Amino acid sequence: MRIMVIGYSGSGKSTLAKLLAKHEALPLLYIDTLQFEANWVQRKVEDRNQDLLDFINTHEQWVIDGNYQGAFFDLRVSLADQIYILNYHRMTCLLNAIKRRFIYRNKSRESITNNCPEKIDWEFFIWLIYKGRSIKRKNLYKSLKNNYPNKVLIFNNRRRLNQYLLRKHIISSTKDWKLNHESL
């Protein structure tokens, strides 16, 4: 099984990817861990892409979290058996990002490079609310659903995702998921 998890910043992609990887016993890659060096310094695109390609070539099955259209996006789409798209409202994503900031204050998340402490600066705020929600991205998500209807799952809110996860026995209750998603 090969699973892609994509969607808007702050939607919970990394948490879902971790849950799916744990449930399916699959290796997990957060592309954010390849994108940055310590202190939020961007890595060379070539280095990031080589590390991503090495991961794909080394693992027959996987869960990969992250959009990054310049990071073998088409290859990942073609190889994926399932593509989860978290298409949540911008205010939901902002609230999630604010909560995450308080949970990981002065710490790095598992889904980001070490020594990249959680932050919400003006640049990220503008990305989360405006720039990251381009017409191009919206059209990409629609195109994926149209071109790959049997493997693309789009969730517009957490409630729909929870219903799906319950139905597929990936979680046993939404209460456990809400309380324990950070400790998966």
What does each of the 184 residues of the chain score in pLDDT, given as a tens digit?
999 999 999 899 999 999 999 999 999 999 999 998 888 888 999 999 999 999 999 999 999 999 988 899 999 999 999 999 999 999 999 998 888 778 777 776 777 777 767 778 898 889 888 898 999 999 999 999 999 999 999 999 999 999 999 999 999 887 756 544 444 4
| Predicted pLDDT of residue 178 | 56
Of 113, 142, 148, 109, give the one whose Cα is nearest residue 12.
Answer: 109
| Res 179: pLDDT | 41
What would the two tokens of residue 160 be?
Answer: 């729909």
Q: Which residue has the tokens 């990887």?
A: 21
In this structure, is the dihedral angle defined by the CA atoms of residues 78, 69, 24 and 62, taken in order, positive or negative?
Answer: positive
pLDDT at 182: 47
Q: What is the DSSP letter of 118?
A: B
Residue 87 backbone phi and psi in degrees, to 5: -110, 55
pLDDT (0 to 100) of residue 128: 85
For the chain, domains (ranges, CATH) are 2-178 (3.40.50.300)
Distance CA 174, CA 158 (A): 10
Residue-level pLDDT at 45? 94
